[in-house]
Structure 1
């Protein structure tokens, strides 16, 4: 049996270096903090956006989408893959944009060969090929957060679980498409050129968010754009170039940390500190001091009128 797909975070640094490690050049992701067309336009050129949202597990399949219309012909002419495995939807969403941008973006030899190999496949078989691609799966899994508490063999989600899903939006052949591997075909949202994309996609995203209760805020939006260091160099903005280089440095550090779990290390540190306190005869005093500090914080919060739970003496 082939190895499974692990969960990865919806993070600009993760997605940027995931593509880099797949051989893609001059592409990065930027997180958008607001649904604002002008904010999105500032990142131009924009290849598409990746949207993360809480998936309604109890929702029944439909022959017509709630917004837009299925374009079954586009399912044959574009790169569109059915989602056939859990935990791969983030990578599948970004590839749904990227593999439709060959000619605009240097996608690298590995992905080019994969696209050519699956070009004549129906969407279901494309999804199976993607799920079984060792290259894509291994790079994807290299960005999973290391944890000793999560098994790779995860159970299927139920209606009681919080399940999150990634989909992509991109302008292709003069049409704004929603690419969702759980749907039977790409969903067309009307005419759209690359220049119109910021103004066209924001209302579609707003309508989707409006389906949820007002207190639901768990959404994330990432824009796939050209490497912003190139723009900084083209316009001669040294400050922007420095900021982008610092951003990349921070992303590399964060991605390195994701590959390690520190539970064992922390456990050894705690054991070492406790052992040293016992050795010095300070262990009981150390525990009592901690209790006093906890009690003091509790009393301070209580006086400030904050809701607190009773703590042990």
Structure 2
């Protein structure tokens, strides 16, 4: 493989522009704030959901899932890829929805060719093909947050790390499937038409969340839906259309910021501040440093009073 995969955020704007860059048309992601079927229905035409949760790194793999049943036949009959590399699970989850919705969704030339190329592969080879796809990896990495300090590809997770994992849920062939590349096969959760999906998926998610301590709140749920601007145009809702266009503008700005790190800029800014203080006089510079030390000391003392440990 010619390169590694970097971590990407579970963010509607990241995922929306990532799939557009891969050639998918008229699809977007919407973050869901509640586990209510009605909120899911309000998102419009739904293709599936992406669920992010804290993954128990020390948990032993089981021959039976904690909820639902493994469908080994479906592993070969629908698009299901084993996860063979760290950090790729976000993109793998969204592709697990979209490549199983080819026909309902225009997935574009490149993804359609990838799907056709891997159709006869077993799930482990599909995972290898996905991990080794230069196109998919490069698009994925273009949405990773820039950092000059950490190479995400060089260290495996340990049991002490907070590791997060993406999985997909979708109605495929009138069956509700959980598509998790770390499992040996798709997990079948019962009959489910596309129309029934909002009602059927919520109890599955609630049962999964219930397996965690009540204090665990770090979950994220994204719906894979038809571009909401299309429906707004169809019904002539100009207010909704303007709202969605504004959202896209914000997503583009946030994605542009992710591609840059500002360490050099901040360093040069600090140099300029120091130079300005020195130009005033050595006394002014020394006073500025001492004032900063006193403020830092006060903040540390306040944090200690509140029971919050300060940085070393």
Report Cα offsets for 1:184-212 as digits up to 9, x if no partner. 11000001011110110010001000101
Report Cα offsets for 1:54-106 as digits up to 9, x if no partner. 11111111111110001111111100000000000000000000000011001
Aligned match of 2:37: 37
SS in 2 for 1:72: coil
Query: 8 Å contact 2:25–2:108 — kept in the other structure?
Result: yes
Aligned match of 2:285: 283
Deviation at residue 21 of structure 1 after TM alignment:
0.1
Aligned match of 1:145: 145
Report Cα offsets for 1:228-277 as digits up to 9, x if no partner. 00111111111110110000000000000000000111011011101110
Aligned match of 2:272: 272
Rounded Cα–Cα distance in structure 2 between residues aligned with 1:23 and 1:230: 17
Q: Deviating runs (4+, > 3 A) in structure 1? A: 288-299, 305-311
Give 5+ residue unaligned stretches, structure 1.
none
State the TM-score, normalizing by the size of structure 1: 0.94
Report whether the alignment pairs 1:74 with 2:67: no
Report whether the alignment pairs 1:233 with 2:233: yes
SS in 1 for 2:189: strand
Using a 3 Å threshold, how does the CA distance of structure 1 residues 225 and 270 change in structure 2: closer, same or farther? same
Report Cα offsets for 1:25-80 as digits up to 9, x if no partner. 00000001111111011012100000000111111111111100011111111000
Greater shift in the superposed pair: 182-191 or 275-284: 275-284
Query: 8 Å contact 2:12–2:29 — kept in the other structure?
Result: yes
Using a 3 Å threshold, how does the CA distance of structure 1 residues 38 and 280 change in structure 2: closer, same or farther? same
RMSD in angstroms over aligned alpha carbons? 1.8
SS in 2 for 1:164: strand
SS in 1 for 2:165: strand
Deviation at residue 289 of structure 1 after TM alignment:
3.6
State the TM-score, normalizing by the size of structure 2: 0.94
Give 5+ residue unaligned stretches, structure 2.
none
Aligned match of 1:157: 157
Rounded Cα–Cα distance in structure 2 between residues aligned with 1:236 and 1:147: 43
May I ask how many residue pairs the two structures share in their alignment?
308
Aligned match of 1:190: 190
Aligned match of 2:15: 15
Rounded Cα–Cα distance in structure 2 between residues aligned with 1:246 and 1:153: 35
Using a 3 Å threshold, how does the CA distance of structure 1 residues 231 and 182 change in structure 2: closer, same or farther? same
